[in-house]
Amino acid sequence: MTKRVVVDDISRLQSTFAQEFDMQAAEVIARRGKFIVGLPGGSVASAFFPALAGLRVDWTRIEIFWIDERAVPPDHPESNYAVASRLLLGPARVPAACIHRMHGELPELEQAARRAADELRSIAGDPPCLDLALVGVGDDGHVASIFPGLSADLSAEARSAKADSVVAVYDSPKPPSRRLTLTLPVLARAGMVVVAAFGASKAAVMREALGEGSASTPVAALLGAASSSLVLLDREAGLS
């Protein structure tokens, strides 16, 4: 298990992530012809996507999925896809065929989850394996739309190949309550898991997740299960 922690200013974290993305994309594309990524919304998207848009990577060979989505239309201000479209997909001219958004606007979330899971399997295999997953962290330690006390865990059943890779969430404690999310096993199976946390409100939960004790938060479970991870913390969220 490889874990690297970087604590620095936001601008340095942006360049660190962009360099990691560039390096991983080049290596995987050279080896396999395509690079499969899972992207977040929120503050991490706002901070990192402009740096990605400036990379000279072959976007025709990069398959883009989302780690979660809100049950809103794709042009809604709270849509993770909308943020990516504005900051990354449009500026980088990512081909439409490489964009695999979750259809959170569908009235039946279970149908949307099955559609997203089927598309993920068709590109990333069964069980699906992302090459890189970028996740943010909430004050409570949630990642994607996996909140403390909710399902989508790392149990043996959830890890099985037959388990759903995308699930509907109806009771998110953070609005909107209805969402779609990748499960923790899918995130943890990524070739590289990048966890980013900004602000003093994340310091305690990240200190616990990176400590040697038994933390029960989703971010702690993810970092504990990932084979390779990079943790990017600004100075307020850092451990020092």
3 residue type, one letter = K
Asked if residue 165 is part of any domain, the answer here is yes
Provide the residue range defining the domain that includes 131. 2-233
Mean pLDDT of 25-54: 97
Average pLDDT over residues 63-86: 97
pLDDT, mean of residues 219-227: 95
In the three-class reduction of DSSP (H, G, I as helix; E, B as strand; rest coil), residue 162 is classed as coil
Report the percent of the chain where pLDDT is more than 70: 91
The total domain count for the chain is 1
* Predicted pLDDT of residue 87: 98
Q: How far is CA 106 from CA 139, 170, 175, in A?
A: 29, 14, 18
DSSP string across 37-78: EEE--HHHHHHHHHHHHT----GGGEEEEESEEESS-TTSTT
Q: How high does pLDDT run on average in the chain?
A: 92
Q: What is the pLDDT of residues 123-158, one digit of tens each?
A: 999 999 999 999 999 999 999 999 998 654 444 444
Return the higher-pLDDT residue of 218 and 161: 218
Is residue 38 in a domain? yes
- Measured over the CA atoms of residue 96, residue 61, residue 190 and residue 45, the dihedral's sign is negative
Burial of 32 (0-12, 13-18, 19+ CB in 10 A): exposed
pLDDT at 211: 87
Query: Do the domain assignments include residue 18?
Result: yes
Asked if residue 182 lies in contact with residue 169, where contact means CB atoms within 8 angstroms, the answer is no
Q: Which residues pair with 197 in a beta bridge?
A: 233
Beta-carbon-side half-sphere exposure of residue 45 (alpha carbons within 13 Å): 22
pTM as predicted: 0.93
Pairwise CA distance, residues 188 & 132, whole Å: 10
- Beta bridge partners, 133, equal 38, 193
The CA-atom distances, in angstroms, between 156 and each of 57, 98, 121, 145, 153 are 37, 32, 20, 20, 9
In a domain, 102, yes or no: yes
Residue 154 has what pLDDT?
43
- Establish if 240 belongs to a structural domain: no
Tell me, what CATH number does 131's domain have?
A: 3.40.50.1360
124 located within any domain: yes
Q: Is residue 221 part of a domain?
A: yes
Residue 218 belongs to a domain? yes
